[in-house]
Structure 1
Amino acid sequence: MILLAALLMTATAAPSPACQVWQREQAFARSVRSHDAAAFRTFLADDAVFDVNGAHPVRGAAAIAAAWAPIVAGKAVQLDWQPAHVVLSADGRLALSSGPYVLTTHGKDETAHTSLGHFSTLWRRGRDGAWRVQFDGGDEGRLAAAAELAAFARGVDAQCPPGL
């Protein structure tokens, strides 16, 4: 009986903080995949910084939402990503998630160009307990092979890995 109660408590327990960030990262990606600008904005800390490893970082949630509007709209550019790793700080207030992204652009001849790259997102837990993006960036990516794109598609919205 005690074992059954313990199993039920484990099954209904809240996800670990790392798994919460994993799920938040996935929901963040879904907001772009579903072209939901209002949902996209809810993931941003007011003082967030995007394109952190680029020459011209974008600062502040309003500026990020404006800069990302074409990406979220998904007409000329399609972007999708998914976490592969999540690591929390010792105090549990910061988390780094990282993983692959797929970016598809269309040339003047309407030919699609798809690249695969790697992103990193730094999340900060707010006083309200919600995780919000503080810093976000990624590499320039490279031409994606069909097998890599298939592997990426299989990982979209994957469950938190065991032990996370």
Structure 2
Amino acid sequence: MPRRLALAAALLCLSAITSAAADHPAKAVMDADRAFAVKAKEVGLAKAFQMFAADKVVMFSTATPEMTPEQVAALFPPGFDIDWAPEGGAISDDGTLGYTWGKARYSAKKPGGTVTDLGPTRYVTIWRKQKDGSWKFIGDGELTNPETRAFQKK
């Protein structure tokens, strides 16, 4: 009997942990980031960045960081691609601001079909909850990663 009781207690704890993870406050921004990455594959980077950008955003990796969604879209030439996925994030206590971070991999397809791997990096995206309940990013940038520096030296 004690063995069954221990198993039941373990299952109850596992259930609580799983439920807590599903209800994690940052889940909303993590889901928004995942949807953003999927949309980029469906419609292209330029269109996806334009769709998920707030009215005014800061692109940390550009010379003129404050941009409109249209200006952000212009950053991505045809053939340029980014694969990314969030690994973590957090959300403010009032549920209106959040951030996600993860790994990204850049590549460029040249005319003729040759794809050049531009290497891995990490990124951070800052999100603001909109009046309609959706999330739009207000800040985005890459963080140089040691793997990228090693790739660039090759």
Q: Does 1:119 align with 2:123?
A: yes
Aligned 1:9-88 pairs, distance under 5 A: 16-36=24-44, 38-50=47-59, 52-68=60-76, 70=77, 73=78, 75=79, 77-88=80-91
Which structure ranks higher in relative contact order (CA pairs < 8 Å, sequence separation ≥ 6)?
Answer: 1
Structure 1 portions without partners, runs of 5+: 1-6, 145-164
2:144 matches 1:135: no
Unaligned runs of 5+ in 2: 1-14
Percent of aligned pairs sharing the same letter: 28
Structure 1, 128-137 or 28-37: larger mean CA deviation: 28-37
TM-aligned CA deviation for residue 33 of structure 1? 1.9
Question: Is the contact between residue 33 and residue 85 of structure 2 (CA under 8 Å) also seen in structure 1?
Answer: yes
Root mean square deviation, CA, Å = 2.9
In the TM superposition, what is the alpha-carbon distance from 1:58 to its structure 2 partner? 4.8
Per the TM alignment, residue 53 of structure 1 is displaced from its structure 2 partner at its CA by 4.2
Number of aligned residue pairs: give it. Answer: 128
CA distance in 2, matches of 1:131, 1:111: 32
Higher strand fraction (1 or 2): 2
Within 2, Cα distance between the matches of 1:40 and 1:135? 11
Structure 1 length-normalised TM: 0.65
Give the greater-gyration-radius structure (CA): 2
CA distance in structure 2 between the aligned counterparts of 1:59 and 1:135, rounded to whole angstroms: 10
Q: TM-score, with normalisation over the residues of structure 2?
A: 0.69
Contact 1:86 1:98 in 2 (8 A): yes
| Structure 1 moving runs of 4+ over 6 Å | none
Quote the offset at 1:30 in angstroms. 1.4
3-state SS of paired residue (1:33): helix
Deviation at 1:104, TM superposition (A): 1.3
